[in-house]
Amino acid sequence: MINLLAIESSCDETSAAIISDGKIKSNIISSQLQHSEYGGVIPELASRLHQQQIVRVVDAALTEADMHKSALNAIAFTRGPGLLGALLVGTCFAKAYAYGLGIPLIEVNHMQAHILANFIGDSPPEFPFICLTVSGGHTQIVLIRDYLDMEILGQTIDDAAGEAFDKAAKIMGLPYPGGPHIDRLAKSGDPNFYTFPTPEIGKYDFSFSGLKTSMLYLLRKGIKTNEHYIEENLVDLCASYQHRIVSILLDKLELAARESGVKHLAIAGGVSANSELRRRFKDLCKQRSWQAHIPAFEYCTDNAAMIAMAGHIKYLAHEFADLTVAPYTRAGF
């Protein structure tokens, strides 16, 4: 039996998971709610909170899996991309833990792990497939030929989709993180209230900075004539803004699928928990006779289970890291 401990610390979730022969046995997540009062993640605070939580979270993962650390065969951890200070906490802990137990170390790319979260469950995608990976820091369309053979077809040149949600929510006065609040409010709003622009950008690439600016200008114009403009139109603003972001994402994904001829499509990352994206993605795949794959909600946002699955796959491929490995912040694979 192959038992792995996985550690995720790329941003503001401290998470640890246990995987045994490809089956997730535990997935503990400690979210850093302290950032909400600042309206965004404070990197220095994030790294300090990871230091405070990581031992407790790892112990909880072992306890829930009913496993002693002596039964572990390897330690997997998020090497990047992410916040450097946060990554350093997870990297140093994983290296020390692996060294102390005398077992291999496995470094995992955070974005690849989001994609491989689609293999946690009973109906994984077939190769090749295309994955739309959307989170607070990244937006990518990726062609996956095999577990560890991935090619980025397109990605954002500025803001990510999740960042566009959170920043628009902030200027509308919604709490951080704003994406889930926009999703909730949009359910009772009119998506045709306002037509936000679609950026002209490369075939599979994304740009969301202009969309965020468009929201800012719309609110400024509305407030000039009505100081209660945001409150009176909040649900419609959320619905039309979310509608445009989802349309941009799915239009690019549909284009990539049509041109590649791939029949299996997936979404992953924190924004894949968005209810409109999930619904319209399923509808698109049904209309085109494509197979749709979406991770369970608990594996969409940052979590160690996806790191565990990626680590298990790399363990079987004998892809190990040495103790000199250092974290990175770049977005590529």
Residues 104-126: pLDDT tens digits? 999 999 999 999 999 998 889 99
| Residues 153, 96 share a domain | no
Rounded to 5 degrees, what angle do the CA atoms 24, 267, 90 make? 50
* Helix, coil or strand: residue 168: helix
Q: How far apart are CA 259 and CA 5, in angstroms?
A: 39
Specify the pLDDT at position 226. Answer: 96
| Residues 150, 20 share a domain | no
| Residues 274, 192 share a domain | yes
Q: What share of the chain is helix, strand, coil (3-state, %, to 5)?
A: 50, 20, 30
Question: Residue 208 maps to which CATH number?
Answer: 3.30.420.40
Assign 202 a pLDDT band (cuts: 50, 70, 90).
Answer: confident
- Other beta carbons within 10 angstroms of residue 282's beta carbon come to 13
Instruction: Specify whether the CB–CB gap between 78 and 7 falls below 8 A.
Output: yes
| Residues 69, 28 share a domain | yes
Residue 325 lies in a domain: no
| Residues 271, 169 share a domain | yes
pLDDT in tens, 35-82: 776 777 788 888 898 999 999 999 999 999 999 999 999 999 999 999
Residue 332 lies in a domain: no
Instruction: Specify whether the CB–CB gap between 149 and 196 falls below 8 A.
Output: no
pLDDT in tens, 289-330: 999 999 999 999 999 999 999 999 999 999 999 999 999 888
Rounded to 5 degrees, what angle do the CA atoms 37, 296, 131 make? 95
Number of domains the chain contains: 2
| Residues 226, 132 share a domain | yes
| Residues 236, 90 share a domain | no
Cα 8 to Cα 72, 76, 85, 116, 214, distances in angstroms? 17, 9, 13, 14, 35
Full domain range(s) for residue 10: 3-115+299-316
Specify the pLDDT at position 253. Answer: 98
Residue 330 lies in a domain: no
Percent of the chain with pLDDT over 70: 99
Residue 146 pLDDT more than 90?
Answer: yes
Specify the pLDDT at position 325. Answer: 94
| Residues 211, 256 share a domain | yes
| Residues 135, 93 share a domain | no
Instruction: Specify whether the CB–CB gap between 237 and 190 falls below 8 A.
Output: no
Residue 168 lies in a domain: yes
Backbone φ and ψ of 85, nearest 5°: -65, -40
> Which residues are paired to 248 by β-bridges?
none
| Residues 199, 266 share a domain | yes
Which ranges in 102-206 belong to alpha helices (H)? 110-116, 161-171, 179-186
Average pLDDT, the chain: 95
Specify the pLDDT at position 36. Answer: 72
Cα end-to-end distance, the chain, whole Å: 29
Specify the pLDDT at position 122. Answer: 84
Stated as kind and residue range, the H or E segment containing 60 is helix 43-64
Residue 104 lies in a domain: yes
Specify the pLDDT at position 113. Answer: 97
- Range with the lowest mean pLDDT among 42-46, 79-83, 129-133, 235-239? 42-46
Residue 159 lies in a domain: yes
Average pLDDT over residues 84-91: 97
| Residues 110, 129 share a domain | no
Rounded to 5 degrees, what angle do the CA atoms 54, 59, 64 make? 125
